[in-house]
Amino acid sequence: MSTYADINTQNIVVNIIVADAEFVATQTDKTYVEYDDENPAGIGYTYDPDTGLFIVPPTPEPTEPTEPDDEQ
C-alpha cells in the first residue's frame, strides 16, 4: 500500500488516502498523486505538476488580540 494525495482542480491537496495502486487506477473521477517521506504532502499543500513536488502552504501572519469593548 502507498500514500496518495487527492488533488483538486487547483492542484490543492484536499484529502490523503492509503491505498493500493489497483484501487487508485479505478478512481477516474479523482486525481491522486503518490507521495513519500522525501516529498511529503498534507491537506492544504499545493502540488506542482511541473516539478512533482508538494509545496507547504504559507503560515498566516499572527494577529494582535483585540481588547474587549468596555461599553455596555
Q: Does the pLDDT at position 24 exceed 70?
A: yes
Question: Average of pLDDT values for 1-14?
Answer: 97
Q: Does the pLDDT at position 72 exceed 60?
A: no
Q: Does the pLDDT at position 70 exceed 80?
A: no
Terminal-residue alpha carbon distance, the chain:
60
Q: Does the pLDDT at position 16 exceed 80?
A: yes
- What is the per-residue pLDDT across 28-69, written as a single tens digit (0 to 9) for each? 999 999 999 999 999 999 999 999 999 999 888 888 887 776
Alpha-carbon torsion angle 48, 12, 57, 41, nearest 10: -70
Q: What is the phi/psi pair of residue 68, to 5°?
A: -65, 150
